Amino acid sequence: MRKTKRLIWILRLIVAVVAIGCTAAFVPWDAAWVYFAPLPDTVQEQVEAAPRYGMDGIIVYVDQAGRKPAFYAAGWKDRQAKVAADPHALFKIGSISKLHIAVAAAKLVRAKRLSLDGTLAHYLPELAGRIENTDKITLRMMLRHRSGIANFTDDRRFRWDKAVNATEVLNLVLDKPAEFGPDSRYSYSNTNYLLIGKILDKTLGYSHQDYIKAETLAPLGLTHTYSLLSEVDAADVVSGYVVGYDGDMKPLDYVIPGGSIVATAQDVGIFVRALNDGSLLNDEEQAIYSSIYVYEHTGLLPGYQSIARYQRDIDTVVIQFTNTSGGNSWMKSEAIFSRIVRILRRQHKQ
């Protein structure tokens, strides 16, 4: 009996050692070091450390209630030309753009121009038979990523390394079966917001981008937020880099609703603050918005990673842009952001 127990113990020990060894082999240690490195005293020190962790450049905007906004930057705006990071430069914010689209939808629902219960078949009848369940999928489901419509970025034919437009990427999901039944579960799909953009355009009779400019950007005084890369001087935009690829991703223009906005960190920060403190929407619009979407977001495009979050416990908005993607860079970016928030919380207690 004792020999049996000893043998079982030895076998368990061997299994544990092998498991630990296998786990260690796959741990992204470079990203783990970002998490566990000693926390610096200031945000500036943390930002300056980012290039050592493999970030080509970083921009951070911090808006603490009762204080003037703070701007931080380190690394490169343009690595090839050796142009230093600029905290006021324009950046491709990716899916943070979805917040703008959700705000536009909430406003139009409040104005009775859209219904959250209206179906995809009603709004875009030309897609009946091309997307499954168009007669059951509602605007509410698409806004909440509960439609079951396939995500075009998951299609193996989708290319991140070339410019694309809405028509090209929509063709990737047409005639595909639904991933699940309408409203049966959540699954993030860029296709949802592409379709919502089309619905907004059709309802308005003009571009939803112009509606966002008039109804969201102008009231907030946001003069450094643009619908498309083509609207700005390329020299004002941060260059983007992908791990293992030598080229600059800046020239690639993604003309897709919910992912094409170019903005400064300050403009994004002002928008996120207004969205969270109730100064952007009236009470009815705010209630509608709360039922359909989130109040923070991240963005990811080739060469561009962005995080926009409001820290309610310290009444602080933090925006972070890093112009490196691929490899373990997303984990590193999230770790850097988390550490910045920890520093701010520590300072808030002092």
Residue 325 gets the label, from left (phi > 0), alpha (psi -120 to 50) or beta, of beta
In a domain, 171, yes or no: no
* Same domain flag for 245 and 332: yes
* Domain carrying residue 292: 42-142+195-349
Lowest mean pLDDT of 7-11, 74-78, 151-155, 209-213, name the range.
Answer: 7-11
Least confident of 29-38, 233-242, 326-335: 29-38
Which sign does the torsion angle of CA 101, 103, 107, 109 carry?
positive
Give the CATH number of the domain where residue 315 resides: 3.40.710.10
82/108 same-domain check: yes
pLDDT tier for residue 10 given thresholds of 50, 70 and 90? low
Question: Residue 16: is its pLDDT beyond 70?
Answer: no
Backbone phi, then psi, for 292, in 5-degree steps? Answer: -120, -25
Count of the separate structural domains present in the chain: 2
Mean pLDDT of the chain: 92
User: Do 212 and 134 fall into the same domain?
Assistant: yes
Backbone φ, ψ for residue 19 (5° rounding): -65, -45
Q: Check whether residue 115 and residue 9 sit in a common domain.
A: no
Each residue of 38-89: pLDDT tens digit?
999 999 999 999 999 999 999 999 999 999 999 999 999 999 999 999 999 9
- What is the torsion angle, in degrees rounded to the nearest 10, for the CA atoms of residue 110, residue 112, residue 116 and residue 120? -140
Rounded CA Rg of the chain = 23
- The answer to whether position 345 is within a domain reads yes
pLDDT of residue 345: 97
pLDDT of residue 34: 80
CB atoms within 10 A of CB 113: 12
Taking the C-alpha atoms of 299, 300, 302 and 306 in order, what is their torsion angle to the nearest 10 degrees?
Answer: 50
Strand runs labelled E in the chain: 57-64, 70-78, 83-84, 91-92, 164-165, 225-226, 241-242, 254-255, 262-263, 297-301, 304-311, 316-322, 324-325
Confidence of residue 3 (pLDDT cuts 50, 70, 90): low
Question: 320 in a domain, yes or no?
Answer: yes
The distance from CA 299 to its chain's CA centroid, rounded to whole angstroms, is: 2
Alpha-carbon distance of 100 to 79, in angstroms, equals: 31
Confidence of residue 322 (pLDDT cuts 50, 70, 90): very high
- What ranges in 250-305 are assigned the alpha helix state H? 265-277, 283-292
Q: Is residue 167 part of a domain?
A: no
Is residue 82 in some structural domain? yes
Mean pLDDT confidence for 131-150: 98
Q: Are residues 212 and 331 in the same domain?
A: yes
Looking at the fold, whether 76 and 119 belong to one and the same domain comes out as yes
Instruction: Report the alpha-carbon distance of residue 175 to residue 121 in Å, rounded.
Output: 15
Q: What is the pLDDT of residues 99-118, one digit of tens each?
A: 999 999 999 999 999 999 99
Same domain, 230 and 299: yes
| Amino acid 126: pLDDT | 97
Q: Is residue 188 part of a domain?
A: no
For residues 203 and 113, give the distance between their C-alpha atoms in angstroms, rounded to a whole number. 7
- pLDDT score of 277 more than 90: yes
Same domain (yes/no): 12, 128: no
Examine the domain organization and report whether 25 and 48 are in the same domain. Answer: no
37 is a domain residue: no
Whether residue 182 is predicted with pLDDT greater than 50 in this model: the reply is: yes
Residue 28's pLDDT is what?
61
52 within domain boundaries: yes
